[in-house]
Amino acid sequence: VLFTVVVSGAEFEEAAQLLSSNPGASTLSVSTSNNSVSAEGRSEEVKLDLSDEEEAEQESSELLGGQKPTGGFWTFEYYQSFFNVDTTQVLDRVKGSVMPLPGRNFIKHHLRSNPDLYGPFWICVTLVFTVAISGNLSTFLIEMGNPAYHYTPQFHRVTVASIVIFLYAWLVPISLWGFLSWRQGVERQVGGYSFLETVCVYGYSLFIYIPTSILWIIPFEWLRWTLMVVAMVISGSVLVLTFWPVVREDTKPMAVSTVAIIVALHSLLAIGCKMYFFQTASHISPLPPTTAPIQIDTQTTHFGSTLN
pLDDT tens digits, residue range 202-247? 999 999 999 999 999 988 889 999 999 999 999 999 999 999 888 8
Task: Please provide the average confidence, as pLDDT, over all residues in the chain.
Answer: 74
- Predicted confidence at residue 148, as pLDDT, reads 78
The neighbour count for residue 68, using CB atoms within 10 Å, is: 15
- Predicted confidence at residue 188, as pLDDT, reads 59
Confidence of residue 121 (pLDDT cuts 50, 70, 90): very high
- Contact (CB, 8 A) for 167 and 269: no
Q: 185-196 in b/e burial notation, b at 16+ Cβ within 10 A?
A: eeeeebebbeeb
The answer, yes or no, to whether residue 304 has pLDDT greater than 60, is no
In single-letter form, the type of residue at position 211 comes to: P
- Predicted confidence at residue 120, as pLDDT, reads 92
Confidence of residue 103 (pLDDT cuts 50, 70, 90): confident
What integer is the mean pLDDT of 280-299? Answer: 50
Alpha helices in the chain (DSSP H): 9-21, 32-65, 76-80, 87-98, 106, 118-143, 156-186, 195-205, 209-215, 221-247, 252-277, 294-307
Confidence of residue 82 (pLDDT cuts 50, 70, 90): confident
The answer, yes or no, to whether residue 2 has pLDDT greater than 80, is no
What integer is the mean pLDDT of 288-294? Answer: 49
Distance in Å from the first CA to the final CA of the chain? 148
- Predicted confidence at residue 155, as pLDDT, reads 84
Most confident of 105-109, 141-145, 212-216: 212-216
Tell me the residue length of the chain.
308
In order, the DSSP letters of 242-297 are HHHHHHTTS-HHHHHHHHHHHHHHHHHHHHHHHHHHS--GGGSPPPPPSS--HHHH
Confidence of residue 52 (pLDDT cuts 50, 70, 90): very low
Please state, in angstroms and rounded to a whole number, the distance separating the CA atoms of residues 143 and 78.
Answer: 50
- Contact (CB, 8 A) for 143 and 281: yes
The neighbour count for residue 24, using CB atoms within 10 Å, is: 7
- Predicted confidence at residue 60, as pLDDT, reads 40
The answer, yes or no, to whether residue 51 has pLDDT greater than 70, is no
Please state, in angstroms and rounded to a whole number, the distance separating the CA atoms of residues 213 and 220.
Answer: 13
What integer is the mean pLDDT of 169-174? Answer: 93
What integer is the mean pLDDT of 147-151? Answer: 77
Please state, in angstroms and rounded to a whole number, the distance separating the CA atoms of residues 137 and 144.
Answer: 10
Please state, in angstroms and rounded to a whole number, the distance separating the CA atoms of residues 203 and 196.
Answer: 11
Q: pTM of this prediction?
A: 0.65
Sign of the CA dihedral 132, 134, 137, 143? negative
For residue 159, count CB atoms less than 10 angstroms from its CB and return exposed for 0-12, middle for 13-18, buried for 19 or more: exposed
Residues 6+ apart with CB under 8 A from 185: none
- Predicted confidence at residue 174, as pLDDT, reads 93
Query: How far is CA 216 from each of CA 154, 230, 270, rounded to the nearest angstrom?
Result: 17, 13, 12
Most confident of 13-27, 139-153, 257-271: 257-271
Using left for φ > 0, alpha for ψ between -120 and 50, and beta otherwise, residue 112 falls in left
- Predicted confidence at residue 141, as pLDDT, reads 84
Residues 6+ apart with CB under 8 A from 216: 134, 135, 138, 224, 227, 228, 274, 277, 278
What integer is the mean pLDDT of 182-210? Answer: 83
The answer, yes or no, to whether residue 64 has pLDDT greater than 90, is no
